[in-house]
């Protein structure tokens, strides 16, 4: 198994918001999903996942509830708030701008 | 929405901190378990899997701490932590906090108490609906060059205003009085307010039972109507609802009860037991007497100026209708004076309260200065602690906020104690304050006082906190952990504080001193009567319904006088329509002087009194020329009069020259011959110039008896007098049973109230500034111990050391004194309305106050200076 590459600074919020955009998930599932969907390329360290989740919750972009889960016991399930969706759009925007800028630089330089 | 959720979330994390932590713990455990399960599924054994999971998860506690950090509640967390720490400091360092709390409690408490009074009397609006629309209606007129702003209305004026004024929604006039209620039960003396039907509707207070007066009640000859106060209704009628329609004998005239006012009703600044419907007859005798105060409610949208214009118009129409009054209006330059009703209610006590409030704010500033000193000394002693905290990473702001929080906690606690003090002080004030203090029943601690208390505490906390912060100068030099001498700027800041304290205390001392001087001047006034404590007074009113004939009335009064004069121990007796200082029976009547008053002009007003023979002797008023009245003057064809010395001097130059001259009431009354001149009497109060007095012998229904006896004021004497009066007529109630000195004192009440409170404030201020001076010098000595010991070691005389510190104290005090004298000179004219016989710039008061402050400050600096002088050189080695 190749070592998953480190996450680019600042993209973690985007990944979490995007992951939660389809369905509410608990922390473990968020980590798994990011890993799976990125084809095992991206792995989120737990040390940064949970502080990120808490921060997003504090900022009002996520809402958290203790719910029964597929883990067989209640887990803290995060879902996107309306404000969170808007934030996701903004983050996607800036990500796209960054990508095209980097692309442009690589192609022309 | 998001803001709300964020807010709620933060709130939760503060108040349910442990719960949030438990949640976090569980959330992370679940994750760990999943890692373990995954590992076990891939074939690892349990314990290996657990180790692996922990390794993969990384530093558990740091993750948790980072999660907690996202809650970002430092500000509040730190705050609660600071508060807890501050309370602990206050509790453990009691030698520091007890004096601080005590001075704060005194300063804040005094302010709350006086503020509550000021709020009830001056700030709060009157207890009527839409009080801003209520106005008092009186006239201004010029009497012998003096402008009188509260010249009352006559019933004739009332009738004119009532018919023609366009700016009033409701309007009425009233006059206070006293009456006897007889019939079932003992005769009862009641305070009355006679009023026209517009007064109660203007105030807008509905009766509790029955109705207001109507215009039908005012028609002369109609059934007379009375409305009872709630208090009197309960007392006399036991609160029975069947009282409506009942007849009550008031001054032997039957009145029908038409209503009862509610318990909460307050009638301006008087407290009548019954309200009587005033009968109004145009042109009837007495309807031209100006005795009535007007109350009106302005129509919506009408301003005071418009109302004044409107009434000026009515007044000129009225004057044009009657030649005599038209002339009077012209000569006296009568103008309407429509003013906010509150002015009538509050009266002249406003100035006193404003001065007191100002004085107490000064005291509070002094308190803040002293507490700032204490806090700063504490801060200085803790600079080692502060330095360590800074070294460990506390920001400067963090340390500063700690100091401010400590100050606020101190101030809040002090304020709470002050609140308790103020509560107690208010109870004393309400029971022992001057009875003339208006709206006294409204004085209470309420939400406004509480808010004021809170604002007072927080502001003073901020004030002394910041002063201490700036003074300790640690914001710029925290590194100074080792003990060394205080910086120059630090000392300078402290010195400025002492100078300010001495100056403020001196201002208060001068204020109190000026009042003391006024009091001494007042006591030195010879009032025109002697030993007022030996003069017993009783007022008797013999109503027309009982004794209609004037001859019988005169006989009855003479009988009563002879009866009471025969009581053992009574050395002299007499009666008059009004004794000196009996302001409620005051009058002003135009008196013409033969050959002096121009024909066809309205003569100036004089105070006239109808007196019995022997009254002047009983009062101790000396006759300067001529003779007193004799009983034979009463029935005689030859009308006689006495005048006061100033009246005689004004008209005839020498008192002797007045004898045999003729005077008369109004422009066309019968002439009376002046047979005697009496010394001046301070009839309006000793602080007012003595009025020109004219005495006539004569019969009036209401008279006050004056009995000179060493037993005056004792219950025994009053009982004997009552018995003697009842020998003549058993149904007469006795009123105003008091001594003349009680009356004398009550005219001084306003000033003595101000003196007592200002005196307390001044004593507090001087004490605080002594503490301030002492504190600063003691601190300076403590700080410079090492330096002093070295000086002593190298041969400095103790005397020199002592002089060094004494000089410092002296310089500070002199500076403060100079500033204080200048500021006192600037503000003392504010109290001129309270001063008597002394100018606001009285050099003696200023000199003595300055000397007192100087002496106090020197004494305060002597103790620390001596301590400095007695320091042993070995100290230099010991300390630090």
Q: pLDDT tens digits for B142-152? A: 776 677 777 88
- Is the pLDDT at B297 greater than 90, yes or no? yes
Neighboring chain B residues of A36 at a CB cutoff of 8 Å: none
Cβ contact A47–B63 (<8 Å) = yes
Shortest CA gap B3–chain A (Å):
8
- Is the pLDDT at A10 greater than 80, yes or no? no
Shortest CA gap A1–chain B (Å):
14
Higher per-residue pLDDT: B771 or A24: A24
Q: Is there a domain that residue B205 lies in?
A: yes
Partner residue opposite A58 with nearest CB, options B31, B63, B70: B70
Segment A74-84 shows an average pLDDT of 89
Shortest CA gap B31–chain A (Å):
6
- Is the pLDDT at B102 greater than 60, yes or no? yes
Partner residue opposite A45 with nearest CB, options B26, B30, B58: B58
Neighboring chain A residues of B30 at a CB cutoff of 8 Å: 26-28, 71, 73, 75-76
Same-domain check for residues B613 and B576? yes
Q: Is there a domain that residue A54 lies in?
A: yes
Q: Is there a domain that residue A76 lies in?
A: yes
Same-domain check for residues B329 and B420? yes
Neighboring chain A residues of B28 at a CB cutoff of 8 Å: 46, 50
Phi, psi (5° rounding) for residue B128? -130, 160
Q: Is there a domain that residue A104 lies in?
A: yes
Q: How confident is the model at residue B376 (pLDDT cuts 50, 70, 90)?
A: confident
Segment B710-730 shows an average pLDDT of 88
Same-domain check for residues B207 and B230? yes
Cβ contact B5–A28 (<8 Å) = no
**Radius of gyration from C-alpha coordinates of chain A:** 15
Same-domain check for residues B251 and B353? no
**Residue where a domain terminates, one of B256, B274, B298:** B298
Task: Tell me whether strands B253-260 and B209-210 are parallel, antiparallel or unpaired.
Answer: antiparallel
Query: What does the pLDDT look like over B108-131, one tens digit per residue?
Result: 888 888 888 888 877 777 888 888
Neighboring chain B residues of A58 at a CB cutoff of 8 Å: 6, 9-10, 70-72
Same-domain check for residues B124 and B208? no
Cβ contact B30–A71 (<8 Å) = yes
Q: What is the DSSP string of B663-686?
A: EEEBTTS--EEEEEEE----TT-T
The Cα–Cα gap between B115 and B786 comes to 48
Residue listed under structure tokens 């590194």: B479
Cβ contact A75–B3 (<8 Å) = no
Question: Tokens at residue B92, please?
Answer: 């453990």
Q: How confident is the model at residue B372 (pLDDT cuts 50, 70, 90)?
A: confident
Q: What is the pTM of this model?
A: 0.68
Cβ contact A75–B62 (<8 Å) = no
Q: How confident is the model at residue A12 (pLDDT cuts 50, 70, 90)?
A: confident
Question: Tokens at residue B836, please?
Answer: 């008597």
- Is the pLDDT at B397 greater than 80, yes or no? no
Q: Is B295 helix (H, G, I), strand (E, B) or coil?
A: strand
Cβ contact A28–B3 (<8 Å) = no
B563 touches B727 (CB < 8 A) = yes
Q: Is there a domain that residue A97 lies in?
A: yes
Shortest CA gap A108–chain B (Å):
41
B679 touches B522 (CB < 8 A) = no
Segment B630-646 shows an average pLDDT of 87
CB count, 10 Å around CB of B742? 17
* Domain tally, chain A: 1
Same-domain check for residues B713 and B858? no
Please tell me which residue of chain B has the smallest CA distance to A59: B6
Instruction: Find the domain containing A81 and state its range.
Output: 11-108
Higher per-residue pLDDT: B276 or B587: B276
Same-domain check for residues B249 and B261? yes
Q: How confident is the model at residue B547 (pLDDT cuts 50, 70, 90)?
A: confident
Same-domain check for residues B87 and B20? no
Query: Which of A13, A32, A48, A51 is the best residue to mutate to test the B interface, defined by the most B CB atoms within 10 Å of its own CB?
Result: A51
Mean pLDDT of the residues in chain A: 82
The b-or-e profile of B120-157 (16+ CB within 10 A means b, else e) is: bbbebebebeebebbbbbbbbbebeeeebeebbbbbbb
pLDDT on residue B1: 58
Task: Tell me whether strands B253-260 and B224-228 are parallel, antiparallel or unpaired.
Answer: parallel
Neighboring chain A residues of B20 at a CB cutoff of 8 Å: none
Q: Is there a domain that residue A22 lies in?
A: yes
Same-domain check for residues B762 and B863? yes
Partner residue opposite B27 with nearest CB, options A27, A47, A82: A27
Spell out which chain A residues touch chain B, with contact meaning CB-CB distance below 8 angstroms: 26-28, 31, 45-47, 50-51, 54-55, 57-60, 63, 66, 71, 73, 75-76, 81-83
Q: Is there a domain that residue B153 lies in?
A: no
Question: Tokens at residue B520, please?
Answer: 């001494």
Neighboring chain A residues of B29 at a CB cutoff of 8 Å: none
- Is the pLDDT at B647 greater than 60, yes or no? yes
pLDDT on residue B667: 75
The Cα–Cα gap between A35 and A41 comes to 7
The b-or-e profile of A58-85 (16+ CB within 10 A means b, else e) is: bbbbbbbeeeebeeeeebbbbebbebbe
Q: Is there a domain that residue B749 lies in?
A: yes
Query: What does the pLDDT look like over B414-433, one tens digit per residue?
Result: 999 999 988 888 888 777 76
Question: Tokens at residue B541, please?
Answer: 């009113």
Spell out which chain B residues touch chain A, with contact meaning CB-CB distance below 8 angstroms: 1-3, 5-6, 9-10, 23-24, 26-28, 30-31, 33-34, 56-59, 62-63, 66-67, 69-72
3-state SS string over B602-653?
CCCEEEEEEECCCHHHHHCCCEEEECCCCHHHHHCCCCEEEEEHHHHHHHHC
**Residue where a domain terminates, one of B298, B333, B359:** B298
* Domain tally, chain B: 5
**Residue where a domain terminates, one of B663, B698, B730:** B730
Least confident of A51-55, B266-270, B478-482, B864-868: B478-482
Cβ contact A51–B66 (<8 Å) = yes
- Is the pLDDT at B795 greater than 50, yes or no? yes
- Is the pLDDT at B232 greater than 50, yes or no? yes
Q: Is there a domain that residue A1 lies in?
A: no
A20 touches A78 (CB < 8 A) = yes
Residue listed under structure tokens 């002249």: B348
Shortest CA gap B75–chain A (Å):
16
Residues ≥6 apart with Cβ < 8 Å to B508? B359, B362, B363, B758, B761, B762, B765, B766
Same-domain check for residues B283 and B392? no
Cβ contact B31–A60 (<8 Å) = no
Cα–Cα distances (Å) from B402 to B367, B456, B457, B493, in that order, read 21, 20, 17, 21
Same-domain check for residues B211 and B175? yes
Instruction: Find the domain containing B54 and state its range.
Output: 2-72
Cβ contact B27–A71 (<8 Å) = no
Cβ contact A51–B69 (<8 Å) = yes
Query: What does the pLDDT look like over B338-356, one tens digit per residue?
Result: 888 888 887 777 777 888 8
Q: Is there a domain that residue B586 lies in?
A: yes
The helix (run of H) or strand (run of E) holding residue A100 is helix A82-108
Q: Is there a domain that residue B824 lies in?
A: yes
Same-domain check for residues B577 and B687? yes
Cβ contact A73–B31 (<8 Å) = no
Q: Which CATH number does the domain housing residue A94 bear? A: 1.10.10.10
Q: How confident is the model at residue A8 (pLDDT cuts 50, 70, 90)?
A: low
B875 touches B785 (CB < 8 A) = yes
Residue listed under structure tokens 């029943």: B441
Shortest CA gap B76–chain A (Å):
16
Cβ contact A58–B10 (<8 Å) = yes
Mean pLDDT of the residues in chain B: 83
- Is the pLDDT at B208 greater than 80, yes or no? yes
For chains A and B, CB pairs below 8 A equal: 69
Cβ contact B30–A75 (<8 Å) = yes
Segment B478-484 shows an average pLDDT of 46
- Is the pLDDT at B512 greater than 70, yes or no? yes
Q: Is there a domain that residue B91 lies in?
A: yes
pLDDT on residue A1: 36
Q: How confident is the model at residue A4 (pLDDT cuts 50, 70, 90)?
A: very low
Neighboring chain B residues of A71 at a CB cutoff of 8 Å: 30, 33-34
Task: Tell me whether strands B209-210 and B188-195 are parallel, antiparallel or unpaired.
Answer: unpaired
Q: Is there a domain that residue B843 lies in?
A: yes
Shortest CA gap A95–chain B (Å):
24
Q: Is there a domain that residue B531 lies in?
A: no
Q: How far is CA B578 from the centre of its chain?
A: 29
**Radius of gyration from C-alpha coordinates of chain B:** 38
How many helices (H) and strands (E) in chain B?
28, 23
Q: Is there a domain that residue A2 lies in?
A: no
pLDDT on residue A2: 38
Please tell me which residue of chain B has the smallest CA distance to A57: B6
Query: What does the pLDDT look like over B830-859, one tens digit per residue?
Result: 888 888 888 888 999 999 999 998 898 888
Q: Output the CA angle B592-B598-B604, nearest 5 degrees.
A: 45
Partner residue opposite A28 with nearest CB, options B30, B58, B59: B30
Cβ contact A57–B56 (<8 Å) = no
pLDDT on residue B483: 47
pLDDT on residue B480: 47
Shortest CA gap A31–chain B (Å):
10
Least confident of A79-88, B66-75, B127-136, B820-829: B66-75
């Amino acid at each position: 198994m190749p070592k998953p590459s480190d996450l680019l600074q600042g993209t973690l919020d985007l990944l979490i918001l995007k992951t939660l955009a389809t369905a509410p998930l608990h922390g473990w599932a968020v980590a798994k999903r990011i890993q799976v969907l990125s084809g095992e390329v991206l792995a989120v360290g737990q040390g940064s996942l949970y502080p990120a989740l808490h921060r997003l919750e504090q900022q009002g972009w996520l809402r958290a509830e203790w719910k029964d889960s597929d883990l067989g016991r209640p887990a803290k399930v995060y879902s996107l708030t309306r404000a969170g969706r808007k934030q996701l759009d903004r983050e996607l925007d800036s990500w796209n701008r960054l990508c095209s800028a980097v692309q442009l630089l690589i192609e022309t330089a | 929405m998001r803001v709300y959720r964020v807010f709620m979330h933060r709130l939760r994390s503060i108040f349910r901190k442990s719960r949030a932590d438990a949640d976090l713990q569980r959330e992370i455990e679940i994750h760990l378990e999943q890692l373990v399960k995954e590992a076990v599924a891939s074939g690892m054994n349990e314990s290996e899997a657990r180790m692996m999971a922990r390794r993969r998860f990384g530093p558990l506690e740091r993750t948790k701490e980072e999660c907690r950090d996202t809650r970002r509640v430092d500000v509040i967390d730190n705050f609660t932590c600071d508060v807890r720490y501050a309370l602990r400091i206050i509790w453990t360092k009691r030698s520091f906090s007890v004096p601080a709390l005590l001075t704060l409690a005194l300063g804040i408490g005094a302010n709350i108490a006086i503020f509550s009074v000021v709020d009830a009397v001056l700030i709060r609006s009157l207890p009527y609906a839409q009080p801003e629309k209520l106005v008092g209606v009186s006239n201004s007129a010029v009497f012998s060059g003096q402008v009188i702003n509260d010249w009352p209305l006559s019933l004739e004026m009332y009738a004119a205003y009532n018919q023609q004024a366009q700016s009033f929604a409701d309007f009425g006039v009233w006059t206070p009085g006293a009456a006897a209620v007889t019939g079932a039960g003992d005769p009862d003396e009641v305070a009355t307010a006679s009023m026209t039907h517009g007064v109660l509707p203007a105030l807008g207070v509905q009766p509790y039972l029955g109705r207001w007066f109507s215009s039908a009640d005012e028609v002369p000859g109609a059934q007379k109507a009375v409305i009872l106060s709630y208090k009197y209704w309960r007392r006399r009628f036991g609160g029975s609802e069947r009282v409506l329609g009942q007849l009550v004998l008031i001054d032997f005239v039957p009145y029908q009860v038409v209503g009862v006012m509610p318990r909460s009703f307050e009638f301006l600044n008087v407290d009548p037991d019954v309200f009587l419907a005033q009968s109004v007859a145009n042109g009837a005798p007495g309807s031209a007497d100006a005795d009535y105060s007007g109350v009106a409610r302005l129509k919506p949208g009408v301003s005071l100026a418009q109302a004044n214009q409107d009434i000026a118009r009515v007044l000129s129409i009225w004057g044009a209708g009657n030649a005599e009054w038209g002339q009077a209006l012209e000569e006296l330059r009568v103008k309407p004076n429509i003013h906010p009703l509150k002015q009538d209610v509050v009266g002249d006590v406003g100035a006193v309260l404003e001065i007191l409030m100002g004085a107490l704010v000064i005291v509070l500033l002094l308190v803040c200065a002293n507490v700032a000193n204490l806090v700063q000394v504490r801060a200085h002693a803790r600079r080692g602690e502060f330095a360590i905290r800074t070294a460990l990473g506390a920001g400067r702001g963090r340390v500063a906020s700690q100091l401010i929080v400590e100050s606020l906690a101190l101030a809040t606690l002090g304020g709470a104690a002050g609140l308790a003090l103020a509560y107690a002080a208010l109870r004393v004030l309400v029971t022992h304050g001057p009875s003339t203090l208006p709206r006294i029943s409204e004085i209470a601690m309420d939400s406004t006082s509480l808010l004021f208390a809170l604002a007072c505490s927080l502001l003073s906390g901020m004030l002394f906190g910041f002063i201490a912060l700036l003074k300790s100068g640690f914001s710029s030099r925290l590194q100074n952990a080792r003990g060394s001498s205080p910086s120059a700027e630090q000392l300078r800041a402290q010195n400025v504080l002492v100078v300010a304290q001495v100056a403020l205390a001196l201002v208060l001392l001068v204020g109190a001193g000026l009042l003391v001087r006024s009091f001494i001047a007042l006591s030195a006034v010879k009032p025109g009567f002697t030993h007022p404590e030996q003069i017993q007074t009783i007022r008797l009113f013999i109503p027309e319904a009982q004794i209609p004939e004037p001859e019988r009335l005169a006989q009855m009064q003479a009988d009563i006088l002879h009866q009471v004069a025969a009581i053992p121990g009574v050395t002299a007796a007499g009666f008059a329509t009004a004794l000196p200082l009996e302001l409620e029976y005051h009058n002003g009547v135009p008196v013409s002087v033969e050959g002096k008053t121009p024909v066809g002009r309205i003569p100036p007003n004089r105070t006239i009194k109808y007196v019995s023979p022997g009254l002047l002797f009983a009062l101790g008023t000396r006759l300067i020329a001529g003779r007193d009245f004799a009983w034979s003057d009463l029935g005689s064809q030859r009308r006689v009069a006495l005048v006061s010395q100033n009246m005689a001097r004004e008209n005839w130059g020498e008192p002797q020259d007045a004898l045999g001259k003729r005077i008369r009431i109004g422009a066309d009354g019968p002439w009376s011959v002046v047979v005697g001149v009496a010394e001046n009497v301070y009839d309006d109060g000793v602080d007012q110039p003595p009025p020109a007095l004219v005495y006539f012998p004569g019969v009036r229904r209401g008279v006050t008896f004056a009995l000179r006896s060493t037993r005056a004021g004792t219950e025994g004497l009053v009982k004997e007098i009552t018995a003697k009066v009842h020998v003549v007529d058993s149904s007469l109630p006795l009123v105003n049973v008091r001594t003349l000195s009680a009356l004398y004192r009550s005219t001084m009440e306003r000033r003595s109230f101000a003196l007592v409170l200002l005196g307390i404030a001044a004593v507090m201020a001087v004490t605080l500034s002594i503490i301030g001076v002492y504190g600063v010098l003691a601190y300076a000595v403590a700080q410079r111990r090492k330096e002093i010991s070295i000086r002593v070691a190298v041969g400095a005389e103790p005397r020199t050391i002592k002089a060094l510190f004494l000089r410092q104290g002296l310089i500070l005090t002199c500076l403060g004194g100079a500033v204080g004298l200048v500021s006192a000179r600037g503000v003392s004219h504010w109290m001129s309305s309270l001063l008597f016989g002394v100018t606001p710039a009285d050099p003696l008061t200023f000199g003595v106050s300055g000397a007192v402050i100087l002496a106090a400050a020197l004494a305060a600096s002597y103790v620390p200076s001596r301590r400095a002088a007695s320091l042993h050189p070995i100290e230099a080695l010991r300390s630090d």
